[in-house]
Amino acid sequence: MKQAQRKRYFALRMVDTMQAIFSLTIFLSAFLLFQVQPLIGRYILPWFGGYAGVWSVMMVFFQTVLLLGYCYAHVLCTRFRPRAQLVIHAVMLCAALALLPIVPSLAFKPDAGAEPISRILVLLVATLGLPYFAVSTTGPLVQAWFARSYPGKSPYMLYALSNVGSLLALLSYPFVVEPLLGRHDQAMAWSWGFAAFAVCCMGAALVALRPAAPAVPRRSGKGRQEDVVATPAEPPRPGLWVSLSALASMLLLAFTNELCVDVASVPFLWVLPLSCYLLSFVVTFSGYRTFRRGIWHSLSFLALVGIALLMFIPGRLELHVSVTIFIYVSSLFVLCCALHGELYRLRPLPEHLTGYYLCISIGGALGGMVVGIVAPLLFKNYFEMHFSLIFAFALLSFSFLRNYSATSGNHISYKKLNLAIIISNIIYVSIFIVGFSWNSKNFIHMERNFYGTFIVEESNIGKDNAGRAFYSGTTVHGTQYLKQEYKNRPTGYFTPYSGIGVTLGALQKPGRRVGIVGLGAGTLAAYGRPGDFFKFYEINPACLAIAQEYFTYLKDSKADIEFKLGDGRLSLEQEDPQRFDVIVLDAFTSDSIPMHLLTLEAFETYLRHLSPDGVICVNMSNRHVDLSPVMKAVSSLNRLYAYKWSAGIGEGFSGLGCDFVVMSRSLDFIRNFNRQADFVRARYTPKGQNPDTLATGFSLKAARDIRPWSDDFSNLFVALKPFSF
């Protein structure tokens, strides 16, 4: 009897050990698959202007390669014998190992003004293509091997485990990996991790060659035999598999775009929505107990209400960033749980497993292509989130109408819930149409490209004065009066009492040379005097066309004006020293921070182009972020005097509240700046108003001490403003 028990014990241990190889391989592959995404983004984001579109194009690449990996797994499992599968996969893994480490070559760094999308895709294929393909094949392939080796066990728990590994990879990146390791060290660590994964994968393949293990009964703590996961009753439904996966992928990228455009295009804001997306897989694919159809669909109705309020209520832009992020990510999580829950409910028998995952990957790739490539060509604004929501709720309604009794016998309640979803969808569509029609009634131009959305609106911008406003995303990037006597007055963030207005007023030398990163409406050209030279660096050709067609600042300027199309930092890196008296940094897309323009490496470039007593003037106006600690750190390391100037909303010049930091090697300039500031405050402050309400200046010494940002390191959390509405 004891000998039989020992045999049973060792049999159980052997089975557990072999099963652990499959689990470890799945976990490692998923971890590597998603750890590399923000890692490679940190490399190439500064090369392509730091825009949200970079992440969308990268996601198209990742999802397309994932699709190819699933196709490979499907063909390998259905067309080849187990021994041939081992040989073919071993050759592919060895080829991938030969291409490590995954460090992008500087040869792929684009020239200023180069077309970005194809360049990004070529860079990713050359740097990451085969290693990423290798890890992308693992999920369906190893699960198929597991199902063949252990026919009595469900492989779907391995899919939930893979999403746990993916989630851990994403969450560890911004909080652990990025603060501790530079980009090169991250790439080397990932490469060593890939080598360990390759060994585990070959171990799993060898185990899969063994004859199928007989079911070894084991007892639970209560003495009952463990339950086997119920066999799904649904026949294969490839159309629904693809549709559900595609809509969840579209929602992921559409929500990510909204976050990155209005806050910052940084790994954390890529990782957070993607983590919620993956967590929804973990929740739903863990079993029926975690997916209660009625609960998740009811929550999705509330999510739709939250998004509608966020997008269309007045004053939504003044909400604190944490509130905005919470509404977006929680709504995304709930909606993805509803869609992925339906996907889990429609899962097939294990013999159709690789085809099932192939359909899921096809849907993910299609969703990514719709948002990353088709939407910028089809829409003139960020409409993909609205359309994704509408189609998602239409599909959920169809799913209810098709089989609303799949998980409950209470038909009446499901009919009511389905009716509520249909009605809420109609209401959302109505709110979207009415809200956009109302907001766009004064638009005279609207377009969209890789770099964002751009709108020109004609309306009153002052007391009884018609004017035009230029919007990038949701943020004003320039205004101009239409009356002849006022049209050359600098407005918006660039009035005479703004930081740049005071700077140019304090710099009275003839023949001033001014370099400006970011064009907007070209408002700063209004400060040009005969003999001055103003050079604008602008990455977006559409912005230049709008400034020349709808605004007259450039045409009416008395200075010599020159334009350089391309990313400002890349253009300056490639030019000979320009000896600028002033360099202005004003390159925002909507309210998104141009992180790559604020690093130590970027300031080394600016200082190379600055005259000995020149000034760097940074527009750091932002609804969500205070860049004072960042500017303090970079100015201290470069031994620059730094002075912050905050201007309120002004009378008579359509001035907007704005914050600038001026930095110079010359203490004399800081003194001249303060004298000019006193003059401006005395001249432009309305009678009876306290000058401190117009503008105030102060040193950055009181700002927090932080680690300076670099191309290897940046931490958005240290710059978030305190919670407020």
Would the pTM count as exceeding 0.85? no
pLDDT for residue 408: 46
Sheet holding 443-449, edge to edge: 443-449, 452-462, 465-472, 475-481
pLDDT tens column, 33-91 = 988 888 888 888 777 766 667 777 888 888 889 889 888 988 888 888 888 988 999 99
Amino acid at 229: V
CB 66 within 8 A of CB 49: no
For residue range 342-385, what is the model confidence (pLDDT) as tens digits?
A: 888 888 877 777 788 888 888 988 888 888 778 877 777 777 88
Proportion of the chain above pLDDT 70, given as a percent: 77
- Identify the pLDDT of residue 555: 92
Q: Is the pLDDT of residue 213 over 80?
A: no
Confidence band of 411 (pLDDT split at 50, 70, 90):
very low
Provide mean pLDDT across the span 244-268. Answer: 77
CB 569 within 8 A of CB 600: no
Q: What are phi and psi of 111, to 5 degrees?
A: -75, 155
Q: Residue 263: which of 223, 195, 319 has the closest Cα? A: 319
313-326 per-position pLDDT tens digit: 655 555 566 777 88
**CA angle, 99 then 101 then 107, to 5°:** 85
Distance of CA 234 to the CA centre of its chain: 36
- Lowest-pLDDT choice from 406-420, 641-655, 690-704: 406-420
Angle at CA of residue 622, ends 620 and 628, nearest 5°: 45
pLDDT digits (tens, 9 = 90+) for 143-155: 888 877 777 676 7
- C-alpha atoms less than 13 angstroms from C-alpha of 650 in its C-beta half-sphere: 27
Q: How confident is the model at residue 227 (pLDDT cuts 50, 70, 90)?
A: very low
Please, which residues have CB within 8 angstroms of residue 291's CB and are 6 or more apart in sequence?
283, 284, 337, 341, 344, 345
Question: For the ranges 101-115, 146-160, 251-265, 682-696, which has the lowest average pLDDT?
Answer: 682-696
pLDDT band, very low/low/confident/very high, at 228 (cuts 50, 70, 90): very low
How would you classify residue 111: left for phi > 0, otherwise alpha for psi between -120 and 50, otherwise beta? Answer: beta
| pLDDT at site 557 | 93
Q: Is pLDDT above 80 for 506?
A: yes
Cis bond leading into 496, ω under 30°? no
pLDDT at 592 over 70: no
| Confidence (pLDDT) at 218 | 45
Position 7, amino acid: K
Record the tokens describing residue 233, joined without a space: 């009753």
Nearest to 589 by CA among 597, 581, 601, 580: 597
Residue 723 has pLDDT above 50, yes or no: no
* CA-to-CA dists, residue 360 to 239, 281, 287, 290, 342, angstroms: 10, 12, 18, 20, 12
Query: Can you list the domains of the chain with their CATH numbers?
Result: 1-212 (1.20.1250), 235-441 (1.20.1250), 488-713 (3.40.50.150)
Q: Is residue 221's pLDDT more than 80?
A: no
Please give the single-letter amino acid code of residue 518.
Answer: G
pLDDT range class, residue 169, cuts 50, 70, 90: confident
77 vs 554 pLDDT, higher one: 554
